[in-house]
Chains A and B, each alone.
Chain A
Amino acid sequence: MSTLTINKNNNFQQTNIISLKNVQPRETIYDVKDLNLWYGDTHALKGIDLSFFDKEVTAIIGPSGCGKSTFLKTLNRLVELVPGVRTTGLITYQGKSILDQSVEELRTRVGMVFQKANPFPKSIYENVAYGPKIHGIRNKKILDEIVEKSLRSAFLWDEVKDRLHENAYGLSGGQQQRLCIARCLAIEPDVILMDEPTSALDPKSTLKIEELIQELKKNYSIVIVTHNMQQAARISDRTAFFLNGEVVEFDQTDVIFNNPNDQRTEDYIRGRFG
């Protein structure tokens, strides 16, 4: 574990956007300014300021009930489904307020993977083809290609290629979650939001998904909420630590895990609470 972090440490010295010499600073894709959110009278998110960068993995860690998942759902406006939710502040996606663009367009560009795998009760093929189909792709050949490509990208193709037309509910939990990732990749989003995607999975499936995330990072920006601090340390470039609806600290993952600025971050990382 510690050697891994040290290795990462070195990598980060090279890719650090602030102190870099010869690498282009990464583009900011999401910018959150002074975000507040209330569920009725409960002030769930308090003055959040965060930025996410292109082709990076950002982990959001923190104890249960600190607003991590709520925050993730504000990014694709899924939080609006909850009755009685009120937000203030500004979230811009690629320079434009998310409230000024069509919510369908936003969610097409920003995919999401949920805590519990939620494949549709359809065949494996139809699950992956769902997104392209609702966005008007009808051509059978193109759909076939998309389905194969997405399943390959999600490391699932070899396991399911002979039973594409069987119900997705016949897959194991880990396979279902990778199917949900494939479904999300099928419309080629720019960002993938992941809400504790491995919390319901066994260690082996978790490892597969972590490998997958490392691979996806080449083409996608990823924001992942996780309970698992080792996971955050293993897979993310940056980490935000949430506590009671506030961002305590947001920095490069190696800084957060090895040299945090805030005592509360230190205490949480060292397992003193949470």
Chain B
Amino acid sequence: MNTSMDHNIKDLIRKNKESQKLPKITEKFMPILLLIITSVSILTTIGIIFTFLSETIEFFKRVSVVEFFTSTTLKPLSQDPEYGVLPLIAGTAISSVIAMLVAVPIGLMTAIYLSEYASERVRKIAKPLLEILAGIPTIVYGFFAFTFITPILREIIPNLEPTNILSPGLVMGVMIIPMVASLSEDAMSSVPNALREGALALGSTKLEVTRRVVIPAALSGIIASFVLGLSRAIGETMIVTIASGSSKNFTLDVTQSMQTMTAYIVEVTSGDAPAGSTIYYSLYAVAMTLFIFTLLMNMLAKYISRRFREDY
């Protein structure tokens, strides 16, 4: 019985091999197909950068680079337009800083609780709940900031303007919490238990184990979560567009309305900026600045996480 089975299987395999000409062709052409598909995203990136560059160069033919990066006034629609990007950079930076001031401590502490202290049951309930927060569309957050948070804040801070940078900053922070918490928690829970046991066996308290062993070992993942959060804040558009208005103030006063780079792009594209006008080209210059910002951020993150890496 055994031998007959063997013969049958051998024959079957041989027969199948002979009848299948197609697999050989797929084996050959699959890598080529995959390469073509891969190049779609790469070519898109190159295309975007190329368009950005050429349109940005066009913009700088009309407005000097020095004016763009040093002027603190941005009034593209005035009779005598000025194109200083600093107000937008300030708006982006301030709203992002406010968001990170909310997201980093709350996100990190949430991660520490979930990874080091919470029971399996609590973790199983809390993590999906957190991730719901991440699934809320940003337009809802924007609306929430404008109609709910701002009025409450105005009770506390009377001179807060109806549109201001503080409220969307705070709400963006809330939006980023799940990202920071979830990624940091992943980084911390993948620290091997043997390290915790080793530290506990030396008489460490739980807090010391967390602070001196778990967090340092997970630091590169934690920093990565901060930077992803920060990139998210810098690139966030809807919340600031709705809740911060469109005043191009150059200030550090968070009670005022300010505009971010993203919100400026929304404003200009939703108004009528005729193709070929200076204001149209300014979109590209601002977008390019934004792109360089996030690129620098990612490089910084890579550097920091390599610097502090503790491989286990």
Is B208 in contact with chain A by the CB < 8 A criterion? yes
Collect the chain B residues with CB atoms within 8 Å of residue A114's CB. 194, 197-198, 201
Bound-state CA distance A104–B203 (Å) is 4
Interface centre among B194, B200, B312 (most CB of A within 10 A): B200
The segment from B212-220, B250-258, B260-268, B298-306 found at the interface with A is B212-220
Query: Is there an interface contact between A131 and B203, defined as CB atoms closer than 8 Å?
Result: yes
How many Å from the CB of B108 to the closest CB on chain A? 19
- Name the interface residues of B183-219: CB closer than 8 Å to any CB of A: 192, 194-205, 208, 212-213, 216-217
Is B120 in contact with chain A by the CB < 8 A criterion? yes
Is A83 in contact with chain B by the CB < 8 A criterion? yes
Collect the chain B residues with CB atoms within 8 Å of residue A106's CB. 203
The segment from A4-12, A32-40, A118-126, A240-248 found at the interface with B is A118-126
Is B27 in contact with chain A by the CB < 8 A criterion? no
Question: Chain A interface residue count: which class?
Answer: 20 to 34
Query: Is there an interface contact between A78 and B310, defined as CB atoms closer than 8 Å?
Result: no
Bound-state CA distance A78–B203 (Å) is 11
A-B contact count (CB 8 A): 71
Collect the chain B residues with CB atoms within 8 Å of residue A180's CB. 198
Query: Is there an interface contact between A167 and B202, defined as CB atoms closer than 8 Å?
Result: no
Collect the chain A residues with CB atoms within 8 Å of residue B199's CB. 120, 130
Please give me the residue from chain A that is nearest to B192 by CB atom.
A118
Using known A-B contacts A83-B120, A114-B197, determine if residue A121 contacts B202 with beta carbons closer than 8 Å: no
Is B155 in contact with chain A by the CB < 8 A criterion? no
Collect the chain B residues with CB atoms within 8 Å of residue A119's CB. 198
How many Å from the CB of A181 to the closest CB on chain B? 12
How many Å from the CB of A167 to the closest CB on chain B? 7
Bound-state CA distance A121–B217 (Å) is 6
Please give me the residue from chain B that is nearest to A123 by CB atom.
B310
27 contacts between A and B (CB under 8 A): A76-B201, A78-B197, A78-B200, A81-B196, A81-B197, A83-B119, A104-B203, A104-B204, A107-B203, A108-B202, A108-B203, A112-B201, A114-B197, A116-B194, A118-B194, A118-B195, A118-B197, A118-B198, A120-B199, A121-B312, A122-B216, A131-B203, A133-B212, A134-B208, A167-B310, A167-B311, A183-B198
Query: Is there an interface contact between A121 and B310, defined as CB atoms closer than 8 Å?
Result: yes
How many Å from the CB of B220 to the closest CB on chain A? 11
Query: Is there an interface contact between B212 and A134, defined as CB atoms closer than 8 Å?
Result: yes
Query: Is there an interface contact between B202 and A81, defined as CB atoms closer than 8 Å?
Result: no
Please give me the residue from chain B that is nearest to A105 by CB atom.
B203
Bound-state CA distance A131–B208 (Å) is 11
- Name the interface residues of A13-27: CB closer than 8 Å to any CB of B: none
Collect the chain A residues with CB atoms within 8 Å of residue B205's CB. 104
Collect the chain A residues with CB atoms within 8 Å of residue B198's CB. 114, 118-120, 180, 183
Nearest 4 Cβ contacts at the A-B interface: A108-B203, A121-B310, A112-B201, A118-B194
Bound-state CA distance A83–B204 (Å) is 20
Please give me the residue from chain A that is nearest to B191 by CB atom.
A121
Collect the chain B residues with CB atoms within 8 Å of residue A134's CB. 202-204, 208, 212
How many Å from the CB of B23 to the closest CB on chain A? 44
Collect the chain A residues with CB atoms within 8 Å of residue B208's CB. 134
Is A204 in contact with chain B by the CB < 8 A criterion? no
